[in-house]
Amino acid sequence: MKAMTYHRYGPPDVVTMTEMPKPVAKSDEVLIRIRATTVTSGDWRARSLTLPPGFGFMGRLVFGLFGPRQPILGTELAGVVEAVGNEVTRFKVGDEVFAFPGAKYGSHAEYRTMPANGLVALKPANLSFDEAAALSFGGTTVLRPLRDRIGIKPGDKVLIVGASGGVGTAAVQIARHLGAEVTGVCSTGNVELVRSIGADSVIDYTKDDFAQSGRCWDVIVDTTGSAPFSRCETVLRPGGRLLVVLGSFATVLGIGRPARASGKTVIAELAIIGIADLVDLAELARTGAFRPVIDRSYPLALAAEAHAYVDTGRKRGNVVLSVPQ
């Protein structure tokens, strides 16, 4: 099979096409013929070893000390089940599915096997393969934290910092679905996009600073690493919560968090993802509550160009790699 691989860390051109053996499904696995995958910030970090402040020392320990441990990037995919192991009952040949290998990567290829009882779900019929491929990364990042950990209620005022990115566009739609009054923060060129996906109001950060706006929110979601608690403290209401999607190592350690007496909370831990999350995302997509935003689509062979675009930091929503059939 054809796969886009990298064998050293660096710029986009380290990603090249390679011929590799087609995987074979084990007894408890499905073999998926990939139709679409994505290039996410997770791929960018694994390829370039560009990590949030304080995490740099962990890069090679996580991704490979002397070179990439997993040469095929790609955290999410959508495709068609081509073969099933003899113990598999959840899926059959021909099922259209989407899957989330996450940190195991391996999706920038023509085929990938997945455990049948793992993070694989039936594709919503109303989504294209490109859209279905982009359901998991952004959706799983914010669904459980917003719904279960924070417990957004109808009428809550929620601010999404970085509302035009892959995670941000998911957060806007999911918070809106949960009944929140949503304010998005983005640049001038993305204001209309953020409004179009459900934001009640939008702050253009090139013109206004949300921290100096005089407004207050019940929940702030920081997807960019630009809104630490020290910046958000005065605009969080009593009992307010800051969800840190992208933060420094110091934030993860709890440095700079609010005093317990303030009643305000910083949530920085990663959510544990299960198959129920993918099923819930599929249902949100089926009902129209969440539809991934696609910025650009590239053929698999041009993965390096897709990486270069993601590297600019200007993508809107998701960047997709379409896999020729």
Mean pLDDT (whole number) for 95-106: 97
Beta pairing partners, 204: 186
Give residue 257's pLDDT band: very low, low, confident or very high (50, 70, 90).
Answer: low
Say how far apart CA 256 and CA 69 lie, in whole Å: 34
Give residue 151's pLDDT band: very low, low, confident or very high (50, 70, 90).
Answer: very high
173-182 pLDDT, tens digit each: 999 999 999 9
Mean pLDDT (whole number) for 120-146: 97
Answer whether 55's CB lies under 8 Å from 66's CB: no
pLDDT at 169 over 80: yes
**pTM of this prediction?**
0.93
118: left (phi over 0), alpha (psi -120 to 50) or beta: beta
Say how far apart CA 55 and CA 44 lie, in whole Å: 15
Q: Which position has the higher pLDDT, 66 or 7?
A: 7
Give residue 272's pLDDT band: very low, low, confident or very high (50, 70, 90).
Answer: confident
Mean pLDDT (whole number) for 277-289: 98
Give residue 138's pLDDT band: very low, low, confident or very high (50, 70, 90).
Answer: very high
2-135+292-322 and 137-267 share one CATH topology?
no
Secondary structure of 40-107 in HEC code, one letter for each residue: CHHHHHHHHCCCCCCCHHHHHHHHCCCCCCCCECCCCEEEEEEEECCCCCCCCCCCEEEECCHHHCCC
pLDDT at 253 over 60: no
Residues of the chain with pLDDT > 70, as a percent, come to 94
Q: What is the mean pLDDT of the chain?
A: 94
pLDDT at 80 over 70: yes
Give residue 58's pLDDT band: very low, low, confident or very high (50, 70, 90).
Answer: confident
For residue 124, give the DSSP letter: P
Beta pairing partners, 120: 99
- The residue behind tokens 């206004």 is 208
pLDDT at 91 over 90: yes
pLDDT at 255 over 90: no
181 token code pair: 């009054």
Q: What is the pLDDT of residue 254?
A: 56
pLDDT at 256 over 90: no
pLDDT at 60 over 90: no
Q: Which position has the higher pLDDT, 225 or 108?
A: 108
- Amino acid identity of 16? T
The 10 Å Cβ neighbour count of residue 24 is 11
Q: Which position has the higher pLDDT, 258 or 36?
A: 36
Alpha-carbon distances, residue 235 vs 201, 220, 278 (angstroms): 16, 9, 33
Beta strands at 181-186 and 201-204: parallel, antiparallel or unpaired: parallel
Give residue 190's pLDDT band: very low, low, confident or very high (50, 70, 90).
Answer: very high
Would you list the domain boundaries of the chain?
2-135+292-322, 137-267
Q: Which CATH architecture has domain 2-135+292-322?
A: Alpha-Beta Complex (3.90)
Residues 6+ apart with CB under 8 A from 260: none
pLDDT at 77 over 60: yes
3-state secondary structure (DSSP) of residue 156: coil
Q: What is the pLDDT of residue 250?
A: 52
pLDDT at 248 over 60: no
Say how far apart CA 249 and CA 87 lie, in whole Å: 42
Exposure class string for 182-220: b at 16+ Cβ within 10 A, else e: bbbbbeeebbebbbebbbeebbebeeeebbeeeeebbbb
Say how far apart CA 31 and CA 227 lie, in whole Å: 42
Answer whether 34's CB lies under 8 Å from 112's CB: yes
For the domain bounded by 137-267, which CATH number is listed? 3.40.50.720
Mean pLDDT (whole number) for 30-35: 98
Answer whether 256's CB lies under 8 Å from 233's CB: no
